[in-house]
Amino acid sequence: MGTTGWIANTTIVQQWFQEKRGLAVGVISAGIGVGILVCTPVAQHLINRVGWRTTYLIMACVVPLINGSLAIPFLKRPPHASPSRSNENITPHPVINDPWILNKEWASRSWTVKEAMATKQFWLLTLSFSVTGISTQSILTHHVAFFVDKGLEALTASYIVGMLGIVSMGSKILWGMMSDRKGREVTYFVGVFCAVCGLVSLIGYNFFPFPLLRYCYAFFFGMGYAVTAVLPAIITADFFAGKSYGGIFGTSMVLNGLGGALGAWLAGFIHDHLHSYLSVFIIMIVCFLVGGYTVWVAAPRKFVVVPGKRSHLRAEK
C-alpha cells in the first residue's frame, strides 16, 4: 500500500502539474472513492461465489496487473508542459523571475529531508496532519459501532458510510479546485469546519436520534474528511516542491499514520471505559481545530500566490 499509494501518486502529480496542482490532486484522490464503490461489491460477489481464500488470490494477481499496466504508459509519457511553464524552464533564474513566488529565498533552495525537518513549517504541517489523522481514523473506524449502539441496524449504518464516501469523492475535487482559487489555508479551514459540523451532528444524535442528523453527519464529515485527504499533499508541495518532495512528504506522513493508528485505538479505549463515544467526539473536534490552526500559522499564503488570485493581482497592478 505504501509503495503504490498516496505518497507515490502525489509525488508524480506535483512534478507534472504546477499551476493547477490542487485540481490534479483532487481528481486522483477522488479515484480512491471510485475504487471503493467498484471494488467492494465485486470483492463481496467473489467471496460469495468462490470464498474469501480464492478471492484473495484473485486480488493478488489482478491488482498488481492493473497498477502496472496503468503506471507504465503514463510514466513514459508525462503531460506536456504548458507554454508558460516551458518558458520558465529555459529562464536562467526561474524563481527570481517568477512574480508569484513571494519568498524567493525559500523557493530557490533545493530542499532535502534533513533541511526540511529543520524548519518550523515542516513540523507545523506534520502536527496538523497528525492530529487530523487521529480524528478522521477514529471516526471512520467507529462510526458504524456508534450508530449500532444507538439502535440502528448495521446494514442501515453501512448505507450512511456509503453516503459519506460518495460525498467525499466530489468534495476532494471541490477542495482541490477551491485551494487553487481561494488559497490553501482558507480551503483547509472550511473543510475542518465541515468536519466539526459532522461531529456536532453525531453529538446531537447521541441525545436526539433524529434521522436527519445521520444524513447531516454523512454530508459534513464526508466533506471534512475529503479536505484532510487532499490538502496535505498540496500544501507540502507549496513549501517543499522539488526532487526531494517525495521523501519530505513521506516523512511527514509517518506521523500521520501513527496518529491514525492512535486515534482508532484511543476511540475504542475510551468507549470501553466510559461506554459512550461522546468524549471521543469532543476530543476529535479539538484535534480538528488544532489541525486547521497550525496550517494557518504555517501560512503557505506567504510563500506562493495560488493561480486563482493571480488575475486579481494583475487587475490591481
Q: In the numeric block, which cell numbers belong to residue 94?
A: 526561474
DSSP state of 81: P
Instruction: Give a yes or no: residue 269 inside a domain.
Output: yes
Report CA 199 to chain centroid distance, whole Å: 18
Query: 273: phi > 0 → left, psi -120 to 50 → alpha, else beta; which?
Result: alpha
pTM: 0.79
Instruction: Give a yes or no: residue 149 inside a domain.
Output: yes
Domain span at residue 280 reads 6-77+109-296
Per-residue model confidence (pLDDT) at position 87:
43
Instruction: Give a yes or no: residue 309 inside a domain.
Output: no
Instruction: Give a yes or no: residue 314 inside a domain.
Output: no
Of the given ranges (95-99, 203-207, 289-293), which has the lowest mean pLDDT? Answer: 95-99
> Residue written as cell 524548519?
119
Instruction: Give a yes or no: residue 119 inside a domain.
Output: yes
Alpha-carbon distance 289 to 291, whole Å? 5
Per-residue model confidence (pLDDT) at position 7:
76
Q: How confident is the model at residue 83 (pLDDT cuts 50, 70, 90)?
A: very low
Instruction: Give a yes or no: residue 99 inside a domain.
Output: no
Instruction: Give a yes or no: residue 97 inside a domain.
Output: no
The tally of CA atoms less than 13 A away on the side-chain side of residue 188 is: 31
The CATH code of the domain that includes 14 is 1.20.1250.20
Q: What is the pLDDT of residues 49-76, one digit of tens each?
A: 898 899 999 999 988 888 778 777 776 6
Instruction: Give a yes or no: residue 143 inside a domain.
Output: yes
* Count of domains forming the chain: 1
Per-residue model confidence (pLDDT) at position 39:
75
Q: What is the pLDDT of residues 231-246, one digit of tens each?
A: 888 888 888 877 888 8
